[in-house]
Amino acid sequence: FVEALLQLPMVLPPVVLGYLLLVSFGSQGFIGKYLDTLGIHLAFNWKGAVLASMVVAFPLIVQPIRLSFQLINRQLEHVAGSLGASPWRVFYSISLPLALPGMIIGSILGFSRSLGEF
């Protein structure tokens, strides 16, 4: 369910996605009215354009990052843990460097998609 929800911006037509964002984040939307009380106005603003670009690019960013973390050899993490490394140390020393190429690829894909929208 979560993966289908993350991939939703890829399959929805741009007009439908824009309408959903406008209905959600507009001044009368269910999220927008709470943001208006905080002084944040997203509809018809450059901040709204950034949000729309992020929503459109999000599936292209998440997919390579998720796959790169899935492909990490778990034995490397277990070995580091058995040698006394804390879970945070294992993440920063082993998992994050091994997933870095996927993070870079996801960032490039998301940036390219966002740039292509305008």
pLDDT at residue 111 greater than cutoff 80: yes
pLDDT in tens, 6-31: 888 889 998 999 899 999 998 888 89
CATH number of 2-117: 1.10.3720.10
Distance (Å, whole) CA 98 – CA 111: 22
The first and second tokens of residue 105, run together, are: 């690829």
Rounded distance, CA 52 to CA 10, Å?
13
The predicted pLDDT at position 4 comes to 87
Domain boundaries, the chain: 2-117
Task: Tokens 């997933």: give the residue.
Answer: 99
Q: What is the pLDDT of residues 60-93, one digit of tens each?
A: 999 999 999 999 999 999 999 999 999 999 999 9
Supply the pLDDT for residue 80: 95
Measuring CA to CA, which residue among 62, 6, 54 is closest to residue 42? 54
Question: What CA–CA distance (Å, rounded) separates 52 from 31?
Answer: 14
Per DSSP, the chain holds a count of helices (H) and strands (E) of 7, 0
Closest to 56 (Cα-Cα) out of 22, 11, 24, 101:
11
